[in-house]
Amino acid sequence: MFQVGIIGAGRIGKLHAEHIQRTSMARVRAVSDVNMQGLDTWASSLHIPVVTDNYQDLLNDPDIDAIFICSPTSTHATIIQEAARAGKHIFCEKPVSFSVETTELALQAVYEANVMLQVGFNRRFDHNFKKVRDTVQGGVIGEPHLLRITSRDPEPPPAEYVAKSGGLFMDMMIHDFDMARYVVQSEVVEVYAQGANLIDPKIGELNDVDTAVVMLTFANGAIGIIENSRKAVYGYDQRIEAFGSKGCISTENDRPSTAVISTSDGVMMDKPLYFFLERYTQAYVQEIEDFFRSIQGEFPIVCDGNDGLQAERLAQAAKESLLTGRPVKLNHVTVLDRKSL
Amino acid sequence: MFQVGIIGAGRIGKLHAEHIQRTSMARVRAVSDVNMQGLDTWASSLHIPVVTDNYQDLLNDPDIDAIFICSPTSTHATIIQEAARAGKHIFCEKPVSFSVETTELALQAVYEANVMLQVGFNRRFDHNFKKVRDTVQGGVIGEPHLLRITSRDPEPPPAEYVAKSGGLFMDMMIHDFDMARYVVQSEVVEVYAQGANLIDPKIGELNDVDTAVVMLTFANGAIGIIENSRKAVYGYDQRIEAFGSKGCISTENDRPSTAVISTSDGVMMDKPLYFFLERYTQAYVQEIEDFFRSIQGEFPIVCDGNDGLQAERLAQAAKESLLTGRPVKLNHVTVLDRKSL
Amino acid sequence: MFQVGIIGAGRIGKLHAEHIQRTSMARVRAVSDVNMQGLDTWASSLHIPVVTDNYQDLLNDPDIDAIFICSPTSTHATIIQEAARAGKHIFCEKPVSFSVETTELALQAVYEANVMLQVGFNRRFDHNFKKVRDTVQGGVIGEPHLLRITSRDPEPPPAEYVAKSGGLFMDMMIHDFDMARYVVQSEVVEVYAQGANLIDPKIGELNDVDTAVVMLTFANGAIGIIENSRKAVYGYDQRIEAFGSKGCISTENDRPSTAVISTSDGVMMDKPLYFFLERYTQAYVQEIEDFFRSIQGEFPIVCDGNDGLQAERLAQAAKESLLTGRPVKLNHVTVLDRKSL
Amino acid sequence: MFQVGIIGAGRIGKLHAEHIQRTSMARVRAVSDVNMQGLDTWASSLHIPVVTDNYQDLLNDPDIDAIFICSPTSTHATIIQEAARAGKHIFCEKPVSFSVETTELALQAVYEANVMLQVGFNRRFDHNFKKVRDTVQGGVIGEPHLLRITSRDPEPPPAEYVAKSGGLFMDMMIHDFDMARYVVQSEVVEVYAQGANLIDPKIGELNDVDTAVVMLTFANGAIGIIENSRKAVYGYDQRIEAFGSKGCISTENDRPSTAVISTSDGVMMDKPLYFFLERYTQAYVQEIEDFFRSIQGEFPIVCDGNDGLQAERLAQAAKESLLTGRPVKLNHVTVLDRKSL
């Protein structure tokens, strides 16, 4: 059983801890957070023996095999470097950092330490999206020509969150950039972004957008589209469609039930599952199980450091495109060799 | 071009006349109705040259090849016999009569005159139901084991109509009895009926039911279910499911559009097409085209006199079952040889 | 935390044990099975401290609050009586017994001991079926008029299982009898059954059927239909439709993904989840959580002894109907007062 | 009854003629085509009295009220001008011309002659797309934020057709440009296009693309996406989705039947209707009925000259964007005042 240390006990840190405690592959040995309030009670209810406000304690603990980095994004890169040097395997929440250069430095440390790093793009582990990836990979739709990702949140985050989020492309669409690469299995060579502030004026005041569309051109000739909105009043809208020379695969949202109710008012179905915690429950479980399986050598890391880096590059390019009003080519960015990560 | 005479210019008679005028296979030469009000105007708008209140005029017209009998059910059998003796091909609305014996006499006349008779079970010509029949016939679902027919009207007819209708089994479910035979392609050997008066007390006062379920046992071992309701508040509900050793085919209702609207209230689709005129528009056209094609010898009558007779037998048996509270076997009823019809 | 003893460590006993160990409401203290092979290893992997081949040990253990009866059906009634006398709350797998009289005796013991008894009709806890029940109860479809339950297994059980199963009505359709009462919320007053041996000749040799349709007449006037097949080649088919004066609710099967693949061959979706373990994973978890909540007094037992009894009465009546070829009325059967259970 | 002259008796000219002969609002008085082969036979079967190889005969016929221009695109603008001067109302197939300037001249003539001009964007009359437009216009989805149009043909046209087509944007996507304006009800201010030659190398040799995505920015802030492929192996793919502040509406393809077939291979539905003649049968009928109703003054022309012009401007801008690799703004193009058309 792997022994795990969790750095950052916010919502996502706690979620991972609960899932780890349920697997038969690992146990949480320690958790750290700068805010210790209520942490003891929560930890003891999950049988987590060690609680600390200093994450260095976790890095120094020789019994800990793997670190989950769930602290704020601004701390990720530093902790990755430290954890790598301490010889720990690393699971890091997305994004690795807000800057491609910073991420590259972190990955370099991972590479040198020869530890494993998985980045938390949880959607790769969703039953629907995995089916799309597997279908494309299996050649069922032939050569990919068009890709379309719809990604809409049920409501915008508070302004304070937006201010520190890195912007829509880095905070929200970064999941979709990763999904695009995961499904098409080719690198993006050009990005063109359009965005608008149509939902919450506060987001506009922070120089961010809440509605955006990005067009991607892939090295293999395929063209992709990503649509984001911070507010879909009917709930979390997470769909994908891949079209190719031999066919098309598309997915619908998951709903609480399959019930269809017909009345004099119309024919009604359930709204989609409300948000990511509801929709991706199973994906979060799968994500950590696959992480431990990769450490055991069963298969390569499903979402590695390079994947994290490439998504950030696309987010950065999209932001540049939005600011300049022009498409942005991506061949000018230095990429670490995939194998080295 | 076939020359057609239409007896009875009510709603369905007029509908057939309009469809005939649009085909390139036939023209309406004459129409008769005991109620001549407004008939001239309507007929002239459709370029129908002859209008009369005496249907014998049509039977005596040597230029007329085929007669459409759209008058009240109580007149069908007599007119069939007369038309057959006059050497006309016959399209007769359902049911042929309210009594198996009467229908048998009419069919005997058709047989002796060697004319063609098609009975107006329009649903055989519906795109969805025809697909089910063809799929079953093609062996795609293997041997049929279970059949389920859902048939619900959007609102009950007025009491005056119900009083003369022959009852729910003969008036409404008769379509479904025919559909059951059409799809399973085996005769029914037992009928068990349950019914209730749950919708309109006036229907109960007329000793009729407005809600009914009938279980059918087929000669090939399959078991069928027919569900009827006189009132589905969401519109005309016409679905079927056939299950067999190799699979299952089921159909959904047709709707005015495929639109799906998602709002904070839920996810909404269109209600089914309102009633039979909306749902079976294309089926009515196909029905008469196939009638003329059969007269031309392209293929046998799709829905012949025996089909009309068998549906009536099932309706009669269902009524008997409801009255006696017992299943009714069908082997005691004499059936004319199918080929002779 | 409730302490639980599990009697019978077959597939379903083990399943419940795993789910119990994951809740925060209870722990498995002991497990018994006449076949001890491999039991120690399995139990220790789940941190179950006590393993025995004598279920009396569990009944005698004062620390155990509740007993899960997962042994063969023929043993249920006796164990219920013993457990009740030992003052344990009881969760019993379905059916309680193969005979209404035997079940009544068991329920009498439960009543006298004033313990709680939940019967394992897991489908009441399924997200789709619960939605139907809640929608009907909420009055959204008005007064129920028609109910339809489709229940088809992906493949028939082995002949040895069938021989001891009590027959299709008691073994398989009993779930649907319970579902019918759960949704319509009215007792059944008449049952008419048709059945056939269309799938596996061995089942016929055991005087059982593998295909059956049962028509139910409810006290409130509604009519219900249950369809069973032991073999749906496309997977576990579990659907329901309730139709009433104000509308209709119907559910579809759950599928592994929502993906739709369009190729030159057609438009393809996933098959339904394969069988009950896949389909009802979440329902099994909910079922035991609700059991413990009922013991805590949060709400009455969702599926109590009377529910178990009524389902058996319907199974018995269906069998009688099939044998006699006649509808069977249910008012002649003595029923214990619901409140007393 | 309006008397109609049809110029150009190719596939689409013949189609319109047949539909006109079926309405009660108009009759085809004359048809012209430079290729007279077989024209007499066809015309007489439809009771069209006059056949000629000189379209001027139609313009000179004082009994003709309206002209349908179904000749090659290169002739449209000249004939519009001549027909307008002859005082005929005009229905012109899309596009009006291959050049914005040419179209503007033609529209000027229409304006000066004060005749009515409808452009043949048939999809505005499709049941699904009209539902989307009406829903957006009714405010059901609130302010439009995102629009997505999927438009894929089942197979590419022959190279000879492509060579004269004006290119994918002017020939195929022009329908979608019109649809975008029709649904969002705001003008496009910027266009960015990506395209590729992924299907048929011959199309590439003609300097055309067969796969393209265009991003549109609307004056009201909404962002739109149009996807085109010349080859969807599963059939004509025509879908739309509009997302706004209060919800989302999306449409699916029409299919020949609603049947769902479940076998051991999977769950299968019909492919979409094959191509535009199958999919838009009813839209073509509605299109001409609405044209005659507009002439009668019942409502304004649904798709007028300005609509034709704006779609061409977008096609031209998309082509420019593809060639230059940059987004193209549209405010530099002079637009005739909408009212003047």
Q: If you search the block for the tokens 């339904």, which residue do you land on?
A: C272
Contact call for residues C232 and C205 (beta carbons, < 8 A):
no
- How far apart are the C-alpha atoms of A166 and A98, rounded to whole Å? 6
Which residues in chain C are closer than 8 Å to D270, comparing Cβ atoms?
266-267
Contact between C14 and C35 (Cβ < 8 Å): no
Task: Compute the nearest-CA separation of B13 from chain D (Å).
Answer: 19
Residue C295 inside a domain? The answer is no
Mean of pLDDT values over B177-189? 97
Question: Smallest Cβ distance to A128: which of C45, C257, C264?
Answer: C257
- Helical H runs in chain A? 11-22, 39-45, 56-60, 73-85, 100-113, 127-137, 159-164, 168-171, 174-184, 201-205, 276-279, 281-295, 305-324
Instruction: Name the nearest CA neighbour of D276 among D184, D181, D202, D175.
Output: D175
Closest CA to B98 of B195, B146, B167: B167
CATH of the domain at C90: 3.40.50.720
Last residue of a domain, one of A97, A122, A147: A122
Host H or E run for residue D78:
helix D73-85
The answer to whether residues B220 and B142 belong to one domain is yes
Average pLDDT over residues B318-341: 74
Q: Which residue type, as a one-letter code, is found at position C205?
A: E
* Domain CATH code at residue D144: 3.30.360.10
Same domain, D116 and D129: no
Percent share of chain C, pLDDT over 90: 95
Q: In this complex, do B251 and D263 lie within 8 Å of one another by their Cβ atoms?
A: no
Of the candidates C244, C232, C231, the residue with the CA atom closest to the CA atom of residue C184? C244
If you ran DSSP here, which 8-state letter would residue B265 be given? T
A94-126 pLDDT, tens digit per residue, is 999 999 999 999 999 999 999 999 999 999 999
For residues A92 and A11, membership in a common domain is answered with yes
Helix (H) or strand (E) holding D214: strand D211-218
The Cα–Cα gap between A29 and A31 comes to 7
Q: Are residues A215 and A328 in the same domain?
A: yes
3-class state of residue A179 by DSSP: helix
Sort residue B239 into left (φ over 0), alpha (ψ -120 to 50) or beta.
beta
Residue contact C225–B229, C-beta within 8 A = no
Q: Are strands C237-244 and C247-250 parallel, antiparallel or unpaired?
A: antiparallel
Residue C99 lies in a domain: yes
Rounded CA-CA distance A43/D219 in Å is 54
Nearest to A215 among D215, D217, D231 (CB): D215
What does the alpha-carbon distance between residue B90 and residue B84 come to, in Å, rounded to a whole number?
A: 7
Rounded Cα distance between D219 and D214, Å, is 16
Would you tell me which residues 63-122 of chain C have a C-beta closer than 8 angstroms to some C-beta of chain A?
Answer: none
- For residue C30, list its beta bridge partners: C5, C50
- Residue B161 falls inside a structural domain: yes
pLDDT of residue D331: 73
Looking at the structure, tell me whether residues B63 and B86 fall in a common domain.
Answer: yes
**A with B: how many residue pairs have Cβ under 8 Å apart?**
48
Parallel/antiparallel/unpaired status of strands A223-229 and A144-152: parallel
In a domain, A317, yes or no: yes
The answer to whether residues B222 and B242 touch, using CB atoms and an 8 Å cutoff, is no
Distance CA C88, CA C68 (A): 10
Q: Give this complex's ipTM.
A: 0.94
| Shortest CA gap B106–chain D (Å) | 36
Can you say whether residue D318 is alpha, beta or left, with left for phi > 0 and alpha for psi between -120 and 50 degrees? alpha
Q: Do D101 and D181 belong to one domain? A: no
Q: Of the candidates B96, B122, B148, which is a domain's last residue?
A: B122
- The pLDDT of residue A24 is 85
Asked whether residue B183 carries a pLDDT value surpassing 50, the answer given is: yes
> In this structure, is residue B24 part of a structural domain?
yes
| Distance between first and last Cα of chain D | 25
Whether residue A89 lies inside any domain: the answer is yes
For residues B29 and B5, give the distance between their C-alpha atoms in angstroms, rounded to a whole number.
6
* Option in D233, D262, D270 nearest C263 (CB): D233
- Does residue C114 sit in the same domain as residue C130? no
Q: Using one digit for the tens of pLDDT, what is the confidence trace for D291-301?
A: 999 999 999 99
Residue where one domain finishes, among candidates C122, C152, C173? C122
pLDDT < 50 regions, chain A: 332, 334-341
pLDDT at res. D313: 97
Task: Give the pLDDT score at A143.
Answer: 98
In three-state secondary structure terms, B154 is coil
Partner-chain contact A237 D248, CB within 8 Å: yes
User: Does residue B137 share a domain with residue B228?
Assistant: yes
Say yes or no to pLDDT of B177 above 90: yes
Residue C312 lies in a domain: yes
A146 touches D at CB < 8 Å: yes
Please give the structure tokens belonging to residue B72: 């009240």
Q: Which residues of chain C have pLDDT under 50?
A: 332, 334-341
Q: What angle do CA B321, B324, B326 make, to 5 degrees?
A: 60
Per the structure block, which two tokens stand in for C267?
């438009």
Question: Structure tokens of D211?
Answer: 């796969």
CA-atom Rg of chain D in angstroms: 20
Strand residue runs (E) in C11-114: 26-32, 50-52, 66-69, 89-92
The helix/strand/coil state of C292 is helix
D293 touches chain C (CB under 8 A): no
DSSP, collapsed to helix, strand or coil, labels residue A254 as coil
Give A273's DSSP letter.
P
Q: What pLDDT, on a 0 to 100 scale, did the predictor assign at position D334?
A: 46
Residue A98 tokens, joined:
């807000």
Q: Has residue A29 been placed in a domain? A: yes
Instruction: Tell me, yes or no, whether A58 and A147 share the same domain.
Output: no
The amino acid present at A99, given as its one-letter code, is: S
The answer to whether C222 and C146 have CB atoms below 8 angstroms apart is yes
DSSP conformational letter for A269? E
Please check whether residues A33 and A139 belong to one and the same domain.
Answer: no
User: Do D95 and D240 have their domain in common?
Assistant: no
pLDDT for B159 equals 95
* A14-19 contacts at long range (C-beta below 8 A, 24 or more positions apart): A14/A42, A15/A277, A15/A284, A16/A68, A16/A70, A16/A91, A16/A284, A16/A288, A17/A46, A17/A48, A18/A46, A19/A284, A19/A285, A19/A288
A318/A311 Cα distance (integer angstroms) = 11
Closest-CA residue of A relative to D143 is A198
d(CA D196, CA A221): 7
- For C230-282, the DSSP string reads S--TT--EEEEEEEETTEEEE-----S---EEEETTEEEEPPPPSSHHHHTHH
Nearest CB neighbour to D269, from listed C234, C264, C267: C267
Q: Is B249 helix (H, G, I), strand (E, B) or coil?
A: strand
CB pairs under 8 A between A and D: 102
* Residues D250-263 as b or e (16 or more Cβ within 10 Å = b): bbbbbbbbbbbbbb
Helix A305-324 crosses helix A100-113 at what angle (to 10 degrees)?
170
Burial of B41 (0-12, 13-18, 19+ CB in 10 A): exposed
For C214, C306, C322, D324, the CA distances from C334, given in Å and listed in that order, are 22, 12, 22, 86
Six-digit token string for A305: 């450091």
Contact B128 D252 (CB under 8 A): no
Half-sphere exposure of D16 (CA within 13 A, CB side): 31
Q: How far is CA C179 from the centre of its chain?
A: 9
CA distance A18 to C128: 27
Supply C177's token pair. 């009898």
Asked whether the predicted pLDDT for residue D335 surpasses 70, the reply is no
The three-state secondary structure class of C309 is helix
Contacts of B265 (CB under 8 A, 6+ apart): none
Say if residue B119's pLDDT is above 80.
yes
Q: Does A234 touch chain B if contact means CB atoms closer than 8 Å? A: yes
Q: Residue D172 is encoded by which pair of tokens?
A: 């195929």
The span from the CA of D284 to the CA of D281, in Å, is 5
- C225 phi and psi, to 5 degrees? -130, 135
Domain span including residue A98: 2-122
d(CA A225, CA A217): 9
Q: If you write DSSP's letter for every residue of B158-206 in order, what string do you get?
A: PHHHHHHTT-HHHHTTHHHHHHHHHHH-S-EEEEEEEEE--S-HHHHHT
First to last CA, chain A: 25
Does D185 share its domain with D330?
A: yes
Going by their DSSP bridges, the two strands D188-196 and D211-218 should be labelled as antiparallel
Q: Kindly state whether A233 is in contact with chain B, defined as any CB-CB distance less than 8 angstroms.
A: yes
Express the helix, strand and coil content of chain B in percent, nearest 5 each.
40, 25, 35
How many Cβ atoms from other residues are within 10 Å of residue C53's Cβ?
11
Q: Omega into C157 within 30° of 0, i.e. cis? A: no
Cis peptide before A95 (omega within 30 of 0): yes
Element containing residue C287 per DSSP (H, E): helix C281-295
Please say whether the beta carbons of B77 and B119 come within 8 A: no
Say whether A243 and D234 touch across the interface (CB within 8 A). Answer: no
Q: What domain count does chain C have? A: 2
Nearest to B236 by CA among B181, B172, B146: B172
